[in-house]
Amino acid sequence: MNLVAIAEPVSKISHTTSDLRLLTAVLLSIGVIIVLITRVKMHPFLALLLGSATLAATAGVPFDQLTGSFVTGFGSTIAGVGLLIGLGAMLGRLLADSGGANIVADTVLRRSTARSLPWAVAFTAALLGLPLFFEVGVVLLVPIVLLVARRGNVPLLSVGIPALAGLSVLHGLVPPHPGPLVAIDALKADLGITLAFGLIAAVPTLIVAGPLYARVAQRWVGPLQVPTAIAPEGRQSGPAPRFAAVVGTILLPVGLMLVKALADVSIDNPKSLVQRVFDVIGSPLVALLAATLVAMVTLGRAAGLDRAGVSGVIEKSLGPIAGIVFIVGAGGGFKQTLIDVGVGDAVSQWSEKWHVPALLLGWLIAVLIRLATGSATVATITAAGIVSPLAAGMSPAQVSLLVLAVGAGSLFFSHVNDAGFWLVKEYFGMSVGQTLKSWSVMETLISVTGLVMVLILSAFV
């Protein structure tokens, strides 16, 4: 078997493929992915692989080249994002197993009044959510939130919704989370600009969907009994890292990337030694690597772990993310297939013909895929691939806003086909209806408010 031939990307065939055939290919391939994930319960990696083959075959790609674009996209995505996911998992596991997450939560919550408690929980969740995947953040934070609600004698959703909102907003809008990183790679966006805009958009989005909506949700859903069977994760005794060290370690990668963004704006000579130094230390790979190495000391060793203990934590962090890495890579393969068969160029032409703004189009496509597949990451990757040609004529700031529009759309109305929906339902002991009124509406508020913030920012850049 000729592996070189298999890996050879498909040349664009938009000049020979009608718009109707392309549209049919896209709808059929997405339909295949939806059915395989939701009905057949197939792993998203395999579903995306088969969906990519369906797309290429329907678009008229020669049989011996069906997987070429998928392999190319898979490899480039893993090379660009897979390393970052691995480093983020290491940092998150050190944060959890050292007790650092509990230290932050306890410190912030101890200094909060009953009225400021929802805001403190939202802040804590957003802070801890910076290096954590959403599912890891839920497992880590929800037990703490349940204890806070029980000890403070406050309604569960008054602190639960702000915590979930803090995690979800960061997951959709702020790198180094996988979704935004993949969209940045697909659209060739500037990481520093996207990070800065993402943080600006995240603050009001978190306020609206977190503490403010929590007041409505707790009245709409009604009183909930705080589950008693779930105990906080992480180490409960022994030495623990200091609060300042934990916060500094968490913020280190974001700080390095923001410093690079400021250097890009303030330094006139892009080839100067200072600029090149900032380009290196502010790259996502180096920033996350630096934070992980620092965390091995400030979190691992400070918690009493020896070298073997720290190494064991690092080793345990990699197993659970294998599925995430393969899903993200498969999404990159599907994205590359979309581009190579000419779907992106066709969407660009349709957008000009119908006069649909690029930011709104990216959001709408992500919304539709999110509703169909239930996966925010799949929605982000697919939508970014479809609208990528639109980024060619846009300014760097507008491209970054397109990334955020896609990310916001990927969070729209989580429901029964989303694993996060069931995770939240079970942890909070809610019925399906209560979960729809609380979690699903909160996700929709994040999506819509995020889009509004993107459109407001676009008016000034």
On whether residue 374 sits in a domain, the answer given is yes
Taking each helix axis from N to C terminus, what angle separates 441-458 and 213-221, rounded to the nearest 10 degrees? Answer: 160
88 within 8 A of 288, measured Cβ to Cβ: yes
User: What's the farthest any 2 CA atoms get from each other in the chain?
Assistant: 68
Residues sharing a CB contact under 8 Å with residue 29, sequence separation 6 or more, in sequence order: 51, 52, 54, 55, 58, 334
Distance CA 205, CA 365 (A): 20
pTM: 0.74
Element at 272 (helix H, strand E) = none
Enter the tokens of residue 88: 């983020």
Which range has the worst mean pLDDT, 121-125, 391-395, 407-411, 424-428?
A: 424-428
**Average confidence (pLDDT) over 88-97:** 83
Taking each helix axis from N to C terminus, what angle separates 322-340 and 19-38, rounded to the nearest 10 degrees? Answer: 160
Rounded mean pLDDT of the chain?
Answer: 83
pLDDT band at 109 (very low <50, low <70, confident <90, very high): confident
On whether residue 229 sits in a domain, the answer given is no
| pLDDT at site 69 | 85
On whether residue 11 sits in a domain, the answer given is no
Distance CA 257, CA 111 (A): 30
What 3-state DSSP class applies to 394?
coil
Residue 65 clears pLDDT 80, i.e. is over it:
no
DSSP state of 389: G
Percent of the chain scored above 70 by pLDDT?
Answer: 90
What 3-state DSSP class applies to 331?
helix
More confident residue, 206 or 322: 206
158 within 8 A of 224, measured Cβ to Cβ: no
Which range has the worst mean pLDDT, 43-52, 254-263, 382-391?
A: 254-263
| pLDDT at site 442 | 97
Distance CA 6, CA 212 (A): 53
On whether residue 152 sits in a domain, the answer given is yes
Residue 233 clears pLDDT 60, i.e. is over it:
no
Percent of the chain scored above 90 by pLDDT?
Answer: 27
Distances in whole angstroms, Cα of residue 269 to Cα of each of 26, 265, 274, 284: 44, 10, 9, 22
More confident residue, 404 or 147: 404
On whether residue 443 sits in a domain, the answer given is yes
Reference 410, options 381, 442, 440; nearest CA is: 381
| pLDDT at site 3 | 36
Q: Can you give the C-alpha Rg of the chain in angstroms?
A: 22
Q: How many residues does the chain have?
A: 461
| pLDDT at site 85 | 76
On whether residue 10 sits in a domain, the answer given is no
Domain extent for 174: 20-224+235-458
Residue 1 clears pLDDT 50, i.e. is over it:
no
447 within 8 A of 205, measured Cβ to Cβ: no
- Highest mean pLDDT out of 6-20, 51-65, 170-184, 447-461: 447-461
pLDDT, tens only, 281-310? 888 788 889 989 999 999 999 988 999 999
Element at 207 (helix H, strand E) = helix 191-207
On whether residue 182 sits in a domain, the answer given is yes
| pLDDT at site 163 | 93
Residue 211 clears pLDDT 90, i.e. is over it:
yes
Give the count of domains, the chain: 1
Which range has the worst mean pLDDT, 7-11, 30-34, 47-51, 422-426?
A: 7-11
